[in-house]
Structure 1
């Protein structure tokens, strides 16, 4: 059976549509591929959105995923982080332009400080009256009471003040309302030992024996301005005491701090030395054993620290025995006091001083002639400064940068070969 004319025409149309569909499908596939490429390229290069805190700094480079590349905002992009919100931004990096968003968030609560108030029932304060200071980057802060308050009873009423910014961040602070029937106009009274005497170089408690009384308040703390007092320099100095009650009534008193130079006596120093000796020596011990006990005690109970006591051995001994620390002069002076009270003959000796080196120690005689007695600890832990002959100490000194190089014309203890 032959084909009809209509069938032939339909077949031709089908072939024609097929020939048109193939190129169209190819174009669509290419477009989809290019679109997918550029989408992948876009997402791999930039972040679609960046978040910054209110008032913070942001740059176009913050949107780039590759920190080694550079970027800038498009000319029509206006950047501000002064207000919370979401903003459209254009980013130019290389030959590409990207459309992104910048989200400015406010997550920081306001800073709030409050104060106590005293009021009568005729002038109940608002929440803002309790605020001493409040600040927030947004500049938009509401202040209100944290909870309902009853003003029915007199006395101290706990108050909670809340500061909230436009983003809902809140800060709470507690304070007190002192509700009174009538205002107190009588100031507190400062009494006690306002004038004090103190030794130079020591400390003083200015508030000791100073009291404050008030007709209403019971917990007023005295404030002290001692900025003009120099405790290291003898003289008379003015100190100012102030006390303020809850109504703001204030009392002000002045006191005189007299700083004097302490004078150290043998009686004071020897009394401290005797307390130590009573614990470490006995009458039946030999002079050598007593000296050794003193050496061990000084090394074990005096800590090394910088001092300015050189020149007054009584002060050096007093500070060393009282404070249990000091430098080589304190070690020497403490040893001198203990040796003297133990009845062991002893003398002073000093290194030939230089611009950077000073050193002091003792020499003792336990019945066998003079021996060196150096209780100051050294970095060289092997050094034992007890009962050394002059030859032994000089051998050590020569090997350690002349650590004990003394002037034999001044210190002549060993010049007559008294060593045994």
Structure 2
């Protein structure tokens, strides 16, 4: 059974969430929209067809401390540092598209080549009238904030183009492929040390997201990639299309994620926080250990949804190590008892030698996971 991707529209927001006052920690959709309209008008006035807002993250980034994170002002960076408006090139002037990786009605992911340098990048392009600009503002906000406080395990935004009926986010290319593709190449047989390296990097990435006050909400195999081929130490968390800031109650009222990975509290419309991403990592941990998902793939969508919402998962019986079981079950526990990423990293699993689990992975059939850009039913 394919995984189902959830990305519900704003009409599912509760009236209470709509009335909830917002803590302003990032640029609002109105502010981004006003910049968008200004440059659209400027382009027409100057009679220049290929003029757009563009952003280039080429400046050296400094290390930050907790006080800098708390006082981080996205608005000032957005208006003075990130965006340049003088004679900037349009995306199609600066980049040549080589091939389309994924595509749906709203956007497409492409491999593109920079005309001047021939360096390859990855771009997420929203073009035409099939998308609503206000719906992708949170994704823009999240990527801008993360680009100013980069982390080795988080994909980095390196370019942004906004024009009438066109938005393009440009990222560094991930030549090593997805975690799912890595597992396929390994025939789903990972050594214990490989699993530890992968898990450590994901958890370190989540620690950084929590410092940035960001919840990813769609952690899964397809959203974990590697910058370098056959180098599991080059792991990156990607795709912030479902991400939200912790204090954005309006956006948090929208159910978002993928069945089989999504935390039950999100699926049930309850309060949730950073620990919800830990549940998704627990689902990945189970796959890395056994090659099987928590919720049987042969179930119908509604049955998977019900089991997921009730946290009625089924652990593979091949997991017998008490240390591994303790960490896994804690990550999949009720929200109130679920540890955060920092606590998970301090678990004895990462410090004590665990029995080899390679034999557990043999002769196990790995479920076919759905491409997130293919058409899927929403609940």
TM bin (shorter chain)? under 0.3
Relative to total residues, which structure has the larger strand share, 1 or 2? Answer: 1
**Which has the higher relative contact order, 1 or 2, with Cα contacts under 8 A spaced 6 or more apart?**
2
Higher Rg: 1
Relative to total residues, which structure has the larger helix share, 1 or 2? Answer: 2
Q: TM-score, normalised by structure 1?
A: 0.20
Q: TM-score, normalised by structure 2?
A: 0.22
